[in-house]
Amino acid sequence: MLRSGRTATEYFDKYKFEGDPILLDEIAQAMAPLVPRDIEVLAGLEMGGIPVVTALGRHTGLPCAFVRKQAKTYGTCRLAEGADVVGRRVLVVEDVVTSGGQIAVSTADLRNSGAQVSEALCVIDREQGGAAALAAKGISLSSLLTATDLRMTS
């Protein structure tokens, strides 16, 4: 069972690369050329996008924001912590995309906060409709790898 509620016959264990600093750094280095030139802030989604966006920030020099699923009711009470997103071109960063649901929700929240978001980047696109669903919401999805790529290497 995936976070999207879908049942899958294969599982991509993202924690294997997110928990390995050498592999995560190599992934971020490979993703850096996929970041559009006009992006001002990288926004990693809680929880899997956080290590990816932090590593990616090292390779791009761009500031990072960390996007919660819900703003906390204490502290800063902000949805996005870290770099300011208001009025800035923001790239949403995620680890694995299936339906694109969390990117869609978080992008709407970021846009309501004043961010300019039209693109997202992920490590793995499971190729299960996420890109099309996001395109319908004005979000272009790029990925480092697809499920097809990973099946070809196994």
State the binding site for orotate.
98, 126
Residues annotated in a binding site for 5-phospho-alpha-D-ribose 1-diphosphate: 3, 68-69, 72, 94-102
Amino acid at 22: I
Q: Which of 104, 63, 102 has its CA nearest to residue 86?
A: 63
CA dihedral angle for residue 69, residue 83, residue 73, residue 96, rounded to 10 degrees: 10
Q: Which residues have a Cβ under 8 Å from the Cβ of 52 and sit 6 or more positions away?
A: 18, 24, 27, 28, 31, 44, 93, 94, 95, 123
Q: How far is CA 71 from the centre of its chain?
A: 18
Residues annotated in a binding site: 3, 68-69, 72, 94-102, 126
